[in-house]
Chains A and B, each alone.
Chain A
Amino acid sequence: MFVVKVSTQGGVGSLHALSFGIVMDLQWCPRKPDNFITWSQEISLYQVEDIDPLRPKQSTFKLSETRAASLVAKIVDLAFPKVVDGYPGNDAEGMIAVGLANGKVVLTSFGSTIISKEFVPKHPRQVNDLAWNKYSPNLLAAALDKARSDYAVAIWDVAASSKLVNGFHSDALRPAIELGNSETAHSIAWVQSKTLLVGMNGKHIRHYDLRDSQPKLGSTASTKAIYGICVDGSNRVASYADNQVFVWDIRNFEKPFVCINHAKPIVKIGWSPTRSGLLACLEKESSFITLHDVHHATLSTEEGDPTVLERRLTPVYSAETPTAGGFTALSAFSWHPAEENLITTVTLAGYLRNSTVFERVTLNWSSTSKLGWSNGKKIIQFIDNTDGIYATLDDISIKMKYRANAGYGLKTSLKDNARFVEEDVDLLTLWEWLDYCRILTDKEKYRPSVPLKSDVIHNNSFEMHSSKTYRSEERAFAQQICGWGSDLNDLSGSSTRRAALSLFHLKLRQAIRILNESGHSIIGMAIAGFSDEKNSLWREMAQTSCPNLDDPYVRAIFAFLTEADTSYETILNEKGLSVADRVGFACSFLSDSKLVTFLQELTNEMVKTGNLDGILLTGMTPQAIPLLQRYLDITGDVQTVSLLAIRTMAADIPSSPQLQFWIERYRELLDSWKLWEQRAEFDIVKNTNNPLLISPPEVTISCNFCGKNISPAGFGGLNRSNQLFNRFTTTNAKVKSSCCPSCRKPLPRCAICLLHMGTILASATEPIFDPHKTGTSPEALSWYTWCQTCRHGGHTAHLQQWFQNQIECPVTGCSCKCMTLDKVIDFPV
């Protein structure tokens, strides 16, 4: 025996894939997860390590982007090794069994240069298969070719006779068990420590039980698939012949439960050691491994083959790997014994590559914005909104949660809500505008007159071309809503907007002055050169350069000055101008009929695009619902539309299922975020704005004697919100009844002070507790409360005081532990 030790500095070659030479087969070492063996004429041991990108080793073979292998040792003088199996025990690391063409089975190790043991059969013939028993690692089984009056299966107990010594004595040990006289064994596999499967004579798989001293033949499957027997778990077995793979259940061995047909003859099969039910199959001269997920085989009782989930794994070899006819034909593969679903393949030319078979990745996005997926067998990973990825998603729900937390939409003044949405100009403008409108409409109740009738004013006094403007009360009011107040000195916005608006009010000089003052003197100068002459050079230049200007208001200025007719389409359709300005402009320059058409078209367009500026046209009326729906469809911002609904359209809620739907969704959203307080505040605002939305009380307090509701009679309807809690409140001056309104019998007494329910709590004016500490409002302290179990109760303040020091109910003889009955759950926020 001759083992070549290879020094790691010795090799030549690059870090790229390098041929390992001819490789017949390979196997990962069962006990050393970073070592593997390849064999053909010689047997080589490789060590795998992570590639250090900073110091790439020259002598390594790249297995993947991160891993490389280097040759550690070689065994060169064994004559024709046919099969190799790594020893699965702990005690002799690196030991391998090698089956030779002459029937010898040699135990050797890369660690020593000496044969530890040699098993020689009586008649020389080829060793077809070898299998160490991983449950009892001292047992080695060999499957041999046929020989007259000799056995086909030999099982040795390597620990039986002598210890594994490093001395040279090739004592040809006798096998412990022999099976199958004058028969052929093609492949062999251990099921458990004492049971064995052997594919024999080209026609059956035998299941041997070796637990007794006399081997017993268990069940036999008649099949031609006698090659490559391998076991998964305790019952599942696979074998192949030609281009068919069979999967068996050992408990029902008469017929296979799955039969898989392949296009080409099978070369090798193997179960994944890290995942049950995953079988890899390699066809002859193919560039891929077929994976069968037998778990997914259906339990179908119907006739026909059950379906097995099939996948294909094509190892990605680098471009410099030699290919045969355009593809890299594989010669063998080996599963890694421990690393999840790692499979190593080798090509006919001896190039190796690691591939991972990925499992089904489950994936779920929870309502709380957590995205979770499985990673491998046991690991679940999550990202949530604290993750950087979420920022790139621009997930509206994160924005909404943040805004809800801050109190968006619930501020008393509509305008104050704008500061929560400062980053969103449309929303900001909308809240400010709504506030403006509220003030405006509060000031003067305006009822538009239909149809529109306006006075036409011919502005001949104007410095420019004679233009027609229109005036009416309605137009003026509309312009006011658009922020086109009559005072031109009070304009807001950019200087160009102010200049444009001045011009639209036919104040050319003022426009020029504004431009000059704000550093736009060039534009001011250009405008100053205005000429009404139809064919003037100024007009020509202005018209050609106008579309190239960046500022929409400057474009509008030139468009206004050069407009040939009075349709003003360039300005009215200028998307860069705010909707308010376009409407304001239209109100000045369009005739009644044109104005109505324009507004209708603009409204339609706004609704279609979900542009919030269109609220200007629809108002917060049911007409705005389609627009808001469109906005919602585009942005997913159910928060803003719900808030707008309760703040400005509360009266329409009962009649609009859409509004109700938004509100419900938003409340659900707040629920899922556990923003209970914000939801309560939302409900309060909603119900204050429309008391009809208050749901009827679900609980009433009934008299102990007559069973009638003790709430004041005649109560209900619109004003109940004010009275809802009054009956419990004793702090206000109202005379409270301490008896049932129906039968005049007294109400229950407080268990502490023995006064009737409804009587004034003596100490209520001076709270016993610091209300901030207990979290209870002073009013609530004087309410009557009772235990849901023993039905005893009293004033809240009294009971709180009692239960600070006591566990049991204050009523004599009652041992109810009222306070501990209710599970108080602290929800983290």
Chain B
Amino acid sequence: MSSTIAVTTIDTGHEDMIHDAQMDFLGTKLATCSCDKSIRLFDVNLTTGSQNFVTDLKGHEGPVWQLAWAHPRFGNLLASCSYDRRVIIWKEREGGKWENEHTYDGHDSSVNSVCWAPPEWGLMLACGSSDSSITVISCIENRWVHTKIANAHTLGCNAVSWAPAASSVGSGSGDVQPVRKFVSGGCDNLVKIWKEENEQWVEDVKLEGHSDWVRDVAWAPSAGTTRMKIASSSQDRRVIIWNNTEDGAWVPEALHVFEDVVWHVSWNFVGDVLAVSGGDNQVSLWKKQESGNWECISDSAKTQQQQQPQDHRTL
């Protein structure tokens, strides 16, 4: 099967460790960020798959951890968060010029994760910080408003991920006003779901299951489905899938215990395949089989990975 693997390799030109790479909604733009404090933007040619370096965004004074593209209906907006305690929202102006649209510096420590809310909620962004708080930043009538959740995760928040907009539609109830929700994971080994209530963010559910830092959380996208799922990965080498049952409870389901820390989890667009990256430098893909078990359907990506270090040498 390895003969059919068509891996596109992009040399980002960063001077230090890459921390994130994000493709925009249309797949025409790629943004990468790194320990070298910079963000680099690329145009992706969809027919050839090639990419051209466009520009780099400099403004952070520390490693840039994560990036997030806003929905294109708001224009080209990119959010970044950094070790320098700041969140910067970059906007593309006329003529392809990128400018700092907004800087949020209300955190006391490294900001580890940013995630835009579903476009239905308007321009709204959640960011999690090592200072144990989470901030929801939203743009209301062209003003940026910040709502802070203090003490969201003791010792720090590592990841945030929004629930899809219509997750509460279609559960049969019909006209219920959808509730805005997001999930976060932190150094207190907890996964927490937050919901907006009377313009305040309150803890909705606290999910206990991990025995070490939660490194990443990912709310499964909903392509029209009513199933709600959250994947969480942890320093404890485990990935847990949290399934929302009809009575609203969240039931944990162990995906797998890995060899090493599990850094990231990411769902495909339909939310039925989960990609997992671990400390053993392997990327694996998991799908729920009809038997009800999650099975690794592809470890080809990891053989690719293992071969890769040698390619480095020749580069």
- How far is the CB of A826 from the nearest CB of chain B, in Å? 11
Whether B6 lies near A365 (C-beta < 8 A) is no
**For A629, what are the chain B residues with a Cβ–Cβ distance below 8 Å?**
170, 225-226
**Closest residue of A by beta carbon distance from B174:** A657
**Closest residue of B by beta carbon distance from A368:** B27
Whether A375 lies near B305 (C-beta < 8 A) is yes
Q: Report the separation of the CA atoms of residues A664 and B46 in the bound assembly, to the nearest whole angstrom.
A: 25
**For B10, what are the chain A residues with a Cβ–Cβ distance below 8 Å?**
379-382
**Closest residue of A by beta carbon distance from B8:** A382
Q: With an 8 A cutoff between CB atoms, is B148 at the interface?
A: no
Q: With an 8 A cutoff between CB atoms, is A564 at the interface?
A: no
Residues of chain B in range 13-29 having any CB-CB distance to chain A below 8 Å: 13-14, 16-27
Whether B46 lies near A828 (C-beta < 8 A) is yes
Q: With an 8 A cutoff between CB atoms, is B309 at the interface?
A: yes
**For A396, what are the chain B residues with a Cβ–Cβ distance below 8 Å?**
270, 272
Whether B225 lies near A632 (C-beta < 8 A) is yes
- How far is the CB of A277 from the nearest CB of chain B, in Å? 8
Whether B23 lies near A366 (C-beta < 8 A) is yes
Whether B5 lies near A388 (C-beta < 8 A) is yes
**Closest residue of A by beta carbon distance from B155:** A307
Whether A373 lies near B298 (C-beta < 8 A) is no
**Closest residue of A by beta carbon distance from B112:** A296
Whether A397 lies near B25 (C-beta < 8 A) is no
**For B223, what are the chain A residues with a Cβ–Cβ distance below 8 Å?**
397, 636, 638, 665, 669
**For B267, what are the chain A residues with a Cβ–Cβ distance below 8 Å?**
365
Q: With an 8 A cutoff between CB atoms, is A370 at the interface?
A: yes
Whether A376 lies near B309 (C-beta < 8 A) is yes
Whether B224 lies near A363 (C-beta < 8 A) is no
Q: With an 8 A cutoff between CB atoms, is A395 at the interface?
A: yes
Whether A367 lies near B9 (C-beta < 8 A) is no
Q: With an 8 A cutoff between CB atoms, is B205 at the interface?
A: no
Query: Which one, A298-306, A427-435, A541-549, is touching chain B?
Result: A298-306
**For B8, what are the chain A residues with a Cβ–Cβ distance below 8 Å?**
381-384
| Binary CB contact string for chain A from 611 to 649 against chain B (1 if under 8 A, 0 otherwise) | 000000000000000100100110010100110000000
**For A658, what are the chain B residues with a Cβ–Cβ distance below 8 Å?**
169-170, 174
**For B255, what are the chain A residues with a Cβ–Cβ distance below 8 Å?**
none
Which one of B49, B225, B261 contacts A311 once the chains associate, using CB atoms below 8 Å?
A: B261
**For A636, what are the chain B residues with a Cβ–Cβ distance below 8 Å?**
223-225, 270-272
Whether A638 lies near B224 (C-beta < 8 A) is yes
Q: With an 8 A cutoff between CB atoms, is A662 at the interface?
A: yes
Query: Which one, B52-60, B136-144, B276-284, is touching chain A?
Result: B276-284
**Closest residue of B by beta carbon distance from A664:** B166
| Binary CB contact string for chain A from 262 to 281 against chain B (1 if under 8 A, 0 otherwise) | 00000000000001100000
Q: Report the separation of the CA atoms of residues A609 and B268 in the bound assembly, to the nearest whole angstrom.
A: 24
Residues of chain B in range 251-279 having any CB-CB distance to chain A below 8 Å: 260-261, 263-273, 275-279
Q: Report the separation of the CA atoms of residues A665 and B304 in the bound assembly, to the nearest whole angstrom.
A: 34
Max chain A CB contacts within 10 Å: which of B7, B14, B224, B313? B224
**For B266, what are the chain A residues with a Cβ–Cβ distance below 8 Å?**
363-365, 371
Q: With an 8 A cutoff between CB atoms, is A46 at the interface?
A: no
Which one of B17, B265, B301, B313 contacts A359 once the chains associate, using CB atoms below 8 Å?
A: B17
Q: Report the separation of the CA atoms of residues A394 and B268 in the bound assembly, to the nearest whole angstrom.
A: 12
**For B297, what are the chain A residues with a Cβ–Cβ distance below 8 Å?**
392-393
Whether A276 touches B21, Cβ cut-off 8 Å, given contacts A361-B277, A365-B266, A389-B301, is no
Whether B4 lies near A364 (C-beta < 8 A) is no
Which one of B16, B279, B280, B312 contacts A339 once the chains associate, using CB atoms below 8 Å?
A: B312
Whether A380 lies near B32 (C-beta < 8 A) is yes
Q: With an 8 A cutoff between CB atoms, is B83 at the interface?
A: yes
**For B124, what are the chain A residues with a Cβ–Cβ distance below 8 Å?**
none
Whether B18 lies near A362 (C-beta < 8 A) is yes
Whether B4 lies near A387 (C-beta < 8 A) is yes
Residues of chain A in range 369-410 having any CB-CB distance to chain B below 8 Å: 369-384, 386-389, 391-397
**Closest residue of B by beta carbon distance from A394:** B287
Q: With an 8 A cutoff between CB atoms, is B156 at the interface?
A: yes
Whether B308 lies near A375 (C-beta < 8 A) is yes
Whether B305 lies near A363 (C-beta < 8 A) is no
Q: With an 8 A cutoff between CB atoms, is B38 at the interface?
A: no
Q: With an 8 A cutoff between CB atoms, is A458 at the interface?
A: no
- How far is the CB of B275 from the nearest CB of chain A, in Å? 6
**For B47, what are the chain A residues with a Cβ–Cβ distance below 8 Å?**
828
Q: With an 8 A cutoff between CB atoms, is B85 at the interface?
A: yes
Whether B109 lies near A300 (C-beta < 8 A) is yes
Whether A370 touches B23, Cβ cut-off 8 Å, given contacts A636-B271, A661-B224, is yes
Q: With an 8 A cutoff between CB atoms, is A532 at the interface?
A: no
**For B23, what are the chain A residues with a Cβ–Cβ distance below 8 Å?**
364, 366-368, 370, 372
**For B4, what are the chain A residues with a Cβ–Cβ distance below 8 Å?**
387-389, 391
Whether B279 lies near A311 (C-beta < 8 A) is yes
Whether A362 touches B268, Cβ cut-off 8 Å, given contacts A276-B16, A368-B23, A665-B224, is no
Whether B17 lies near A377 (C-beta < 8 A) is yes
- How far is the CB of A190 from the nearest CB of chain B, in Å? 22
| Binary CB contact string for chain B from 113 to 138 against chain A (1 if under 8 A, 0 otherwise) | 00000000000000000110000000
Which one of B25, B175, B187, B224 contacts A641 once the chains associate, using CB atoms below 8 Å?
A: B224
- How far is the CB of A292 from the nearest CB of chain B, in Å? 14
Whether B109 lies near A298 (C-beta < 8 A) is yes
Q: Report the separation of the CA atoms of residues A138 and B16 in the bound assembly, to the nearest whole angstrom.
A: 29
Q: With an 8 A cutoff between CB atoms, is A704 at the interface?
A: no
Q: Report the separation of the CA atoms of residues A384 and B287 in the bound assembly, to the nearest whole angstrom.
A: 17
Q: With an 8 A cutoff between CB atoms, is A600 at the interface?
A: no
**For B226, what are the chain A residues with a Cβ–Cβ distance below 8 Å?**
629, 633
| Binary CB contact string for chain A from 418 to 429 against chain B (1 if under 8 A, 0 otherwise) | 000000000000
| Binary CB contact string for chain A from 207 to 231 against chain B (1 if under 8 A, 0 otherwise) | 0000000000000000000000000
- How far is the CB of B95 from the nearest CB of chain A, in Å? 10
- 30 inter-chain pairs at a CB distance below 8 angstroms, sorted by A residue, are A298-B110, A299-B110, A307-B187, A356-B281, A360-B19, A360-B277, A361-B278, A362-B18, A362-B277, A363-B265, A365-B267, A366-B23, A366-B269, A367-B27, A368-B23, A371-B266, A372-B30, A378-B12, A379-B9, A382-B8, A383-B7, A389-B1, A389-B4, A389-B285, A393-B273, A629-B225, A633-B227, A641-B224, A665-B223, A828-B46
Residues of B near any A CB (own CB < 8 A): 1, 3-14, 16-27, 30, 32, 35, 45-47, 49, 63, 83, 85, 108-110, 130-131, 155-156, 166, 169-170, 172, 174-175, 187, 222-227, 260-261, 263-273, 275-281, 283, 285, 287, 297-298, 300-301, 304-305, 308-310, 312-313
Residues of A near any B CB (own CB < 8 A): 66, 275-276, 295, 298-301, 307, 311, 339-340, 342, 356, 358-384, 386-389, 391-397, 626, 629, 632-633, 636, 638, 641-642, 657-658, 661-662, 664-666, 669, 671-672, 674, 828-829
Other A-B pairs, 9, CB within 8 Å; known A368-B26, A379-B308, A661-B170: A360-B264, A367-B27, A372-B23, A378-B12, A380-B32, A382-B7, A396-B272, A641-B224, A658-B169
